[in-house]
Amino acid sequence: METLAPLTDDQETARHLAQTLFAPRAAEWDRERRYCWDNIDALVEAGFMGMTIPQAYGGKGASLYETALVIEEIAKACTLTARIVVEANMGGLGAIMAYGTEAQKKFVAPIVLAGDKPAIAITEPGAGSAATEMTTTARRRGDRYVLNGTKHWITGGGVSKLYLIFARVVGETGMDEGIGGFIVHRDPARGIDPAGFAVAGRERTMGLCGMPEATLVFTDLEVPVENVVVPPSGFRHGFADLMTAYNAQRVGAGTIAMGVAAGALDLARDRLLNREQFGRPLAEFQGLQWMLADMDTSVHAARLMLHEAARSAGAGSTGFPDRTLTARAKLFSTEAAIKVVNDALQMFGARGYGGEEAVERMYRDVRMFTIGGGTAQILRNQLASAVLGIKTPQTRDGYTVAADIDGPKPGVAPAPQHAFG
Ligand SMILES: Cc1cc2nc3c(=O)[nH]c(=O)nc-3n(C[C@H](O)[C@H](O)[C@H](O)COP(=O)(O)OP(=O)(O)OC[C@H]3O[C@@H](n4cnc5c(N)ncnc54)[C@H](O)[C@@H]3O)c2cc1C
């Protein structure tokens, strides 16, 4: 079931591409664990790569809401392609377009508009939900920073050309100054392969198999100071700013999950109408009708919450969605989507469990959305904090005394702690 509003032009294009180009090959990318390079040209041509980039930098200046409408259509057909569209409009790109310098925006925009999905590198083996416990360092050395450390589960690591890497900024005197974002450009096919940047491995994931989830190792990776994204609050409180930008990505992730659920709902409906048991279509059994009604209600509720969150970012392309609306929408939509897709699979019986039906892939794909980009538990912490009106440890400024990288320095305020949420 759909919302009743007429489709936007972009939505119509997305629906057409999804049905004619993306759906037919979704199983292939999954089976072969391949990035869907063949879909990128169509995304570029439709203006879906970098559609949130302001017109002044060559994009459409699309709002988060307009972008979400496109993402849902694509997610119904191919989760992998939808994920590319999210990362090519939100995430690292959003942070750079919000907080980057003029030169950074002018550098990054054409690369994305030409088809790159930027990667955002926050998570480390020892710093997942507790993101500010990251230990990757960026030490100032004159006109550059030198990065050392390891990131893992970096979506698109190895296929992306642009990376926004988060690291602890260490001043010339060895003082931990907080957390900043560092733009690194890598394009080995064109001989752009910065020394000290290694793609050290790829996870074997249960779903979204065409998307590399990579381990990145930085060994004396040099980044010029002009590539540093300094958040408005400076480095010391900057991670919270960067997470504010990241809220758009959460709306995107929730929208993919909801879109996958909407796609699974359509498949389940068709299955019920077309499969007969006990001499009648499955659609005539009330037990299944009620399941379908609940699935439809969940998808609809998720869509409304996501649209509310997306609209809170405003009509232009530069605002951020409200943090609490976003947390609520991502939490609800991702958990609901997992249940909806699971129920759809159930309606297919053994065929759903086998490898020939799209619903099996959707079931594996949708599972990650309560984990990646802020887990359901961290979002609950954030919501509880909003409801109670108190700060939880994960959001409390100055809660953790961050160790100075080169030993304690007297009289320096501790850096704030912030969860990936
Ligand atoms: C497919 C995928 C793609 C990803 N892409 C990226 C990417 O592009 N860039 C990037 O930087 N990261 C990425 N991540 C990493 C992701 O952001 C982290 O997995 C996530 O933040 C959780 O960290 P963790 O896996 O280390 O789990 P942990 O932090 O170890 O948490 C384990 C469990 O404990 C729970 N938990 C932790 N702390 C609390 C608490 N305070 N209260 C209650 N429960 C708690 C968590 O919710 C979780 O259920 C990706 C992850 C996945 C699965």
Q: How far is the CA of 372 from the centre of ligand 1 (A)?
A: 6
What integer pLDDT is reported at residue 411 of this predicted model?
42
Domain count, the chain: 3
Q: What percent of the chain has pLDDT over 70?
A: 92
Q: How far is the CA of 143 from the centre of ligand 1 (A)?
A: 34
Q: How far is CA 77 from the centre of its chain?
A: 18
**CA dist., res. 391 & res. 333, Å (int):** 25
Q: What percent of the chain has pLDDT over 90?
A: 85
Ligand 1 mutation target, pool 153, 260, 330, most atoms within 8 A of CB? 153
Number of Cβ atoms within 10 Å of the Cβ of 297: 13
| Closest CA to ligand 1's atom 11 | 122
Q: How far is the CA of 202 from the centre of ligand 1 (A)?
A: 17
3-class secondary-structure state, position 209:
coil
Q: How far is the CA of 2 from the centre of ligand 1 (A)?
A: 32
CATH number, domain with residue 160: 2.40.110.10
Co-location of 69 and 164 in the same domain:
no
- Is residue 1 assigned to a domain? no
**CA dist., res. 106 & res. 99, Å (int):** 13
- Mean pLDDT (the chain) is 92
Q: How far is the CA of 263 from the centre of ligand 1 (A)?
A: 26
pLDDT digit string (tens) for 194-207?
999 999 999 999 99
Q: Name the domain boundary from 90, 113, 136.
A: 113
What's the chain's length in residues?
421
Co-location of 48 and 134 in the same domain:
no
Q: Is 359 in the pocket of ligand 1 (CB under 6 A)?
A: no
- Is residue 394 assigned to a domain? no
What integer pLDDT is reported at residue 4 of this predicted model?
66
- Is residue 19 assigned to a domain? yes
Q: If DSSP states are collapsed to H, E and C, what string results for 91-106? A: HHHHHHHHHCCHHHHH
Co-location of 19 and 40 in the same domain:
yes
What's the farthest any 2 CA atoms get from each other in the chain?
81
Q: How far is the CA of 153 from the centre of ligand 1 (A)?
A: 9
3-class secondary-structure state, position 139:
strand
Q: What is the mean pLDDT of residues 290-294?
A: 98
Answer whether residue 101 shows pLDDT above 90. yes
| Closest CA to ligand 1's atom 35 | 377
Q: Is 370 in the pocket of ligand 1 (CB under 6 A)?
A: no
Co-location of 270 and 367 in the same domain:
yes
Q: What is the atom index within ligand 1 of the atom nearest the CA of 376?
A: 47
Bridge-based pairing state of the strands 119-121 and 162-170: parallel
Q: What is the mean pLDDT of residues 75-104?
A: 97
pLDDT digit string (tens) for 319-377?
899 999 999 999 999 999 999 999 999 999 999 999 999 999 999 999 999 999 889 99
Answer whether residue 406 shows pLDDT above 90. no
Q: What is the atom index within ligand 1 of the atom nearest the CA of 119?
A: 8
Answer whether residue 11 shows pLDDT above 80. yes
pLDDT digit string (tens) for 112-164?
999 999 999 999 999 999 999 999 999 999 999 999 999 999 999 999 999 99
Answer whether residue 290 shows pLDDT above 80. yes
What integer pLDDT is reported at residue 3 of this predicted model?
58
What integer pLDDT is reported at residue 405 of this predicted model?
41
Q: What is the atom index within ligand 1 of the atom nearest the CA of 155?
A: 8
What integer pLDDT is reported at residue 241 of this predicted model?
85
- Is residue 16 assigned to a domain? yes
Q: How far is the CA of 383 from the centre of ligand 1 (A)?
A: 17
- Is residue 410 assigned to a domain? no
Q: Is 213 in the pocket of ligand 1 (CB under 6 A)?
A: yes
pLDDT band, very low/low/confident/very high, at 317 (cuts 50, 70, 90)? confident
Q: How far is CA 405 from the centre of its chain?
A: 30
Q: What is the mean pLDDT of residues 219-226?
A: 98
| Closest CA to ligand 1's atom 3 | 372
Q: Which two structure tokens, joined as six digits, stand for 55?
A: 């017109």
Q: What is the mean pLDDT of residues 255-264?
A: 98
Distances from the Cα of 290 to the Cαs of 128, 352, 398, in angstroms?
39, 19, 50
What is the residue range of 45's domain?
9-113
Answer whether residue 175 shows pLDDT above 50. yes
DSSP state, residue 192: B
Are the C-beta atoms of 180 and 231 separated by less than 8 Å?
yes
